[in-house]
Chains A and B, each alone.
With several copies, the nearest count.
Chain A
Amino acid sequence: MPAEVITQEAGVRQLSYAEAIREGLGQAMEADPRVFLFGEDVGVYGGAFGVSGDLLRRFGPERVIDTPISELGLAGAAVGAALTGMRPVLEIQFSDFVTLAMEQIVNQAAKIRFMFGGKASVPMVVRLPGGSGTGAAAQHSQSLEAWFAHVPGLKVLQPSTPHDAKGLLLAAIDDPNPVLIFEHKLLYKTKGPVPAEAYREPIGKAVVRRSGRDITIVGASIMTLRAAAAAEKLAGEGIGTEIIDLRSLRPIDFATIAQSVRKTGRLLIVYEGVKTMGIGAEIAAMIAESDVFGALVAPIARLGGADSPIPYNPSLEKASVPQEDDILAAARRLMHKRKR
């Protein structure tokens, strides 16, 4: 980790989300010769979003591997390496390109252990930069994580802070199963405290980012930041917001959500993926079919991406996914609703 990227703020070491991931990758490679990073332009270029940075220089071209543009082949290569004793970490340059690799991820990685009667495991990690907000338009801005939450055999993470980006990555590399990590492009430059040592965050555990009595907002990735900003404003209006950061979409930490909703009676789920069939659908359904159902004092509200591809024009783009103001408005609406 070059010294210049480590800044000090209030006595805690601050790293950007990208730096935290890089530090995690470096520590995993230092600790375990089985770990390697590969993908398009992860080497000399340092990664399309600069995540791998100097890793090539530090670990050499046998462990930080630039590849041809062959997403299906790369995903399969991760499967094969994982099956035979390695711990591959694959970067799919934009998560949109995972559409080319679905076969290997869904039919092979996710199913091999089960199909082989539990006699094999596929410990691979796929990192997928996703999300909108960069003006990259419809084929470079999608949030496709919900698809993978539908696939038994996979684990699916969506870290929102530099701390979690590193801790969840290290946990994913340790995990004996295929783990997909959806990183948000707009978060790469956001900073936060990151311990220097190699620590793990548990996969499948949500965290309560803010406590409140009146309304529960569940989100992940960048939406928890926008929700936090909205919660500040709601606090000014006397509304206590509890924010749950999912971190993991598969498995999903229903207990933490349930506990909060039991307390607040109101649930707003915010996500960037298309609203229909996005992760909010599953959370709403889990609540609606559970005991917590009776604790609701208002209908569940979902705020998700618009029913359209991501547009190029900046104002259209903003309008197509939940922004802080949308969250604020949705929370206010929900506070005025009652069960009929």
Chain B
Amino acid sequence: MQIPAADSATAAAVREKPALQRGELSALDDATLRAALRRMHLIRKFEEVAEQSYMRGLVHGTMHLSIGQEASAVGSTLHLRPDDYILSTHRGHGHCIAKGADPARMLAEFFGKETGYCRGRGGSMHIADLTTGNLGANGIVAGGLPIAVGVGMSIKAQKQSRVCMVFFGDGAANEGAFHESLNMAAIWKLPVVFLCENNKYGMSMDIANAMAVANVADRASAYGTRGITVDGNDLPAVAAAAKIAIDQARQGDGPTLLECKTYRLRGHSKSDRNLYRTKDEIEAWRQRDPIRRLQDELVAQQRIEARELAAIEQGAQHEIEEALEFAKSSADPDPAQLTRDVYAG
């Protein structure tokens, strides 16, 4: 993934269609956009397969799908470098794939297999892929935020030029952990991006009832740091906002609270009966599906041809099908090794 400013293809694109294209889109070159689109499809298809597997009783436990939130996961991480860190949430498949994890090993984890990222110990809510800088999903709402502070301290102490992006939801913004973490990151100017995916609900509580401010990012002022709110279903917009936050973090300008307003099209988890929202609301957001939106814009702006779109989607479909085969055919862990990895050393 390249940083567009330093990229001549982007410059060319900007030259070609200056009148039509908004800056957020023209800032991204074709290769980057194709890769982003592919990742959004990968996430969507990964979760659809996960959902089906769950429905068919092939996996147990629970899962939290981010279908409808793909632009926020992919857009926010688009300008991260491979060695930058992320910390993710219970709704973390998207972040994980966006940061470069292999969907096959993720699905294997979902199936509880020894080939999974956590050797079947963690499951959907705890996937981590240290090789791509993914320090793990988290089952505890706001659990990743204090950890991000430590990662930021670590980056600073080691004089690295890395950045840590920590994801969390609107509901998480009412946890004490949010407050303590934002404050420490701000006073120490840590290289952390606090990425709030505001999908309007906690599990069932409307953010309008859970906090008395309109935007989560409004809270940045309480820490003397930057807050940005962006349309989280608009990939180029998310990428542009994230780029600012990432660059500032990397330059030593401290944290940003970046809020992506988005929506989860599925229920909170398997047990959700959607009692807290209307069908109309869900439908309205379905119309703003981030994948379709990006595709439509790319075609309208002649950045990509319609038949290429199909190829990208099929490529993703194929990868996920293979991933499913891998997951299914992998071996279960050995119960005799239950306590093997409790302690290191």
Q: Which A residues lie at the B interface, using CB under 8 A?
A: 34, 36, 40-41, 43-46, 48-50, 62-63, 66-86, 88, 96-97, 100, 103-104, 107-108, 112-121, 123, 134-140, 152-153, 155, 175-177, 306-309, 311-316, 318-320
The A-contacting residues of B in range 232-268, CB under 8 angstroms, are none
Q: Is B157 an interface residue (CB 8 A)?
A: yes
Nearest CB in chain A: distance from B206 CB, A: 9
- Taken together as a complex, chains A and B put the C-alpha atoms of A67 and B202 apart, in Å, by 10
The reply to whether A70 and B175 form a contact with Cβ atoms under 8 Å apart is yes
The reply to whether B151 and A114 form a contact with Cβ atoms under 8 Å apart is no
Residues of B within 8 A of A175 (CB): 345
Residues of B within 8 A of A83 (CB): 135, 147, 150-151, 154
- Taken together as a complex, chains A and B put the C-alpha atoms of A41 and B271 apart, in Å, by 12
The reply to whether B153 and A312 form a contact with Cβ atoms under 8 Å apart is no
The reply to whether B158 and A313 form a contact with Cβ atoms under 8 Å apart is no
Residues of B within 8 A of A312 (CB): 61, 109, 112, 118, 120-123, 126
Q: Is the interface of A mostly helix, strand, loop or mixed?
A: loop
B151 contacts which of A40, A80, A319 (Cβ < 8 Å)? Answer: A80
Residues of B within 8 A of A108 (CB): 138, 140, 143, 147
Nearest CB in chain A: distance from B139 CB, A: 3
9 contacts between A and B (CB under 8 A): A69-B171, A70-B183, A84-B151, A104-B146, A112-B136, A153-B343, A177-B344, A311-B120, A313-B112
- Taken together as a complex, chains A and B put the C-alpha atoms of A36 and B147 apart, in Å, by 16
The reply to whether A77 and B176 form a contact with Cβ atoms under 8 Å apart is no
Residues of A within 8 A of B116 (CB): 117
Residues of B within 8 A of A318 (CB): 335
Question: What does the 1/0 interface line of B190-204 toward A look like (CB < 8 Å)?
Answer: 000000000000111
Knowing A78-B150, A83-B147, A316-B333, the reply to whether A308 touches B338 (Cβ < 8 A) is: yes
The reply to whether B341 and A76 form a contact with Cβ atoms under 8 Å apart is no
Knowing A73-B180, A306-B339, A319-B338, the reply to whether A79 touches B345 (Cβ < 8 A) is: no
The reply to whether B187 and A46 form a contact with Cβ atoms under 8 Å apart is no
Knowing A45-B204, A83-B147, the reply to whether A116 touches B136 (Cβ < 8 A) is: yes
Residues of A within 8 A of B72 (CB): none
Residues of B within 8 A of A308 (CB): 338-339, 342
The reply to whether B345 and A177 form a contact with Cβ atoms under 8 Å apart is yes
Residues of B within 8 A of A139 (CB): 125-126, 138-140, 143
- Taken together as a complex, chains A and B put the C-alpha atoms of A113 and B122 apart, in Å, by 10
Residue of A nearest to B336 (CB): A319
The reply to whether B121 and A69 form a contact with Cβ atoms under 8 Å apart is no
The reply to whether A107 and B140 form a contact with Cβ atoms under 8 Å apart is yes
**5 nearest A-B pairs in the assembled complex, by CB-CB distance:** A76-B146, A80-B150, A135-B61, A73-B180, A312-B123
A79 contacts which of B146, B152, B155 (Cβ < 8 Å)? Answer: B146
Residues of A within 8 A of B302 (CB): none
- Taken together as a complex, chains A and B put the C-alpha atoms of A118 and B121 apart, in Å, by 9
- Taken together as a complex, chains A and B put the C-alpha atoms of A107 and B146 apart, in Å, by 13
- Taken together as a complex, chains A and B put the C-alpha atoms of A119 and B109 apart, in Å, by 14
Nearest CB in chain A: distance from B320 CB, A: 21
Nearest CB in chain B: distance from A323 CB, A: 12
The reply to whether A307 and B146 form a contact with Cβ atoms under 8 Å apart is no
Q: Is B107 an interface residue (CB 8 A)?
A: no
- Taken together as a complex, chains A and B put the C-alpha atoms of A316 and B116 apart, in Å, by 14
Residue of A nearest to B59 (CB): A135
Nearest CB in chain B: distance from A327 CB, A: 17
- Taken together as a complex, chains A and B put the C-alpha atoms of A8 and B173 apart, in Å, by 46
Knowing A103-B143, A137-B61, A306-B339, the reply to whether A67 touches B184 (Cβ < 8 A) is: yes
Q: Is B27 an interface residue (CB 8 A)?
A: no
Nearest CB in chain B: distance from A129 CB, A: 12
Residue of A nearest to B147 (CB): A80
Knowing A80-B146, A85-B154, A140-B139, the reply to whether A118 touches B341 (Cβ < 8 A) is: yes
The reply to whether A316 and B335 form a contact with Cβ atoms under 8 Å apart is yes
The reply to whether B210 and A46 form a contact with Cβ atoms under 8 Å apart is no
Q: Is B8 an interface residue (CB 8 A)?
A: no
Residue of B nearest to A312 (CB): B123
The reply to whether A137 and B139 form a contact with Cβ atoms under 8 Å apart is yes
Residues of B within 8 A of A73 (CB): 145-146, 149, 176-177, 180-181, 183-184
Nearest CB in chain B: distance from A39 CB, A: 11
Residue of B nearest to A112 (CB): B136
Residue of B nearest to A314 (CB): B60
Knowing A84-B85, A312-B118, the reply to whether A77 touches B209 (Cβ < 8 A) is: no
Additional 4 contacts, C-beta under 8 A, given A83-B154, A140-B125: A69-B210, A108-B147, A135-B123, A176-B345
The reply to whether B342 and A40 form a contact with Cβ atoms under 8 Å apart is no
A138 contacts which of B59, B126, B142, B145 (Cβ < 8 Å)? Answer: B126
Residues of A within 8 A of B275 (CB): 44-46
Q: Is B303 an interface residue (CB 8 A)?
A: no
Residue among B116, B151, B272, B333 with the most chain A CB within 10 A? B151
The reply to whether B126 and A116 form a contact with Cβ atoms under 8 Å apart is yes
Residues of B within 8 A of A311 (CB): 120-121, 333, 338
Q: Is B128 an interface residue (CB 8 A)?
A: yes
Nearest CB in chain A: distance from B268 CB, A: 8
The reply to whether A77 and B184 form a contact with Cβ atoms under 8 Å apart is yes
- Taken together as a complex, chains A and B put the C-alpha atoms of A307 and B345 apart, in Å, by 16
The reply to whether A117 and B153 form a contact with Cβ atoms under 8 Å apart is no
Nearest CB in chain A: distance from B215 CB, A: 16
Q: Is B141 an interface residue (CB 8 A)?
A: yes
The reply to whether A313 and B126 form a contact with Cβ atoms under 8 Å apart is no
Residues of A within 8 A of B340 (CB): 118
Q: Is B174 an interface residue (CB 8 A)?
A: yes
Question: What does the 1/0 interface line of B59-72 toward A look like (CB < 8 Å)?
Answer: 11110000000000
Residues of A within 8 A of B118 (CB): 115-117, 119, 312
- Taken together as a complex, chains A and B put the C-alpha atoms of A116 and B136 apart, in Å, by 8
Nearest CB in chain A: distance from B115 CB, A: 10
The reply to whether A79 and B176 form a contact with Cβ atoms under 8 Å apart is no
- Taken together as a complex, chains A and B put the C-alpha atoms of A306 and B155 apart, in Å, by 36
The reply to whether A81 and B154 form a contact with Cβ atoms under 8 Å apart is yes
- Taken together as a complex, chains A and B put the C-alpha atoms of A230 and B39 apart, in Å, by 51
Q: Is B14 an interface residue (CB 8 A)?
A: no
Knowing A309-B342, A313-B121, the reply to whether A72 touches B176 (Cβ < 8 A) is: yes
The reply to whether A69 and B153 form a contact with Cβ atoms under 8 Å apart is no
- Taken together as a complex, chains A and B put the C-alpha atoms of A140 and B138 apart, in Å, by 11
